[in-house]
Amino acid sequence: MDTRLTDDENLVGANIIPFAALFAGDFVCLDFRDNKKPSISVWFHEESDDFKPVTIKVADSFAAFLKMLSE
């Protein structure tokens, strides 16, 4: 995991933090880009470029993400 996990070259990974690996090299991430409290996003490694991560938001919060897992 490197600078591809940020959209700001000055932050170097500080605004999208992976916490789980998915099949084929994608990651589940804490996404701090829009808020001080992170949403949960999936980062697609094959579609992303340096400083241009391709993500999709899957939950508004970590608590909401955990609730999804139990449903």
Range of the domain at 29: 3-70
Q: DSSP per residue over 1-52, as a string?
A: --GGG-S-TTTSSSSEEEEEE-GGG-EEEEE-SS-SS-EEEEE-TTT-BTTB
pLDDT tens readout for residues 38-64: 999 999 989 988 778 899 999 999 999
What is the domain count for the chain? 1
Give pLDDT, residue 5. 59
Give pLDDT, residue 67. 96
pLDDT tens readout for residues 3-14: 445 666 565 556
pLDDT tens readout for residues 14-35: 688 889 999 888 999 999 888 8
Give pLDDT, residue 36. 84
Give pLDDT, residue 15. 83
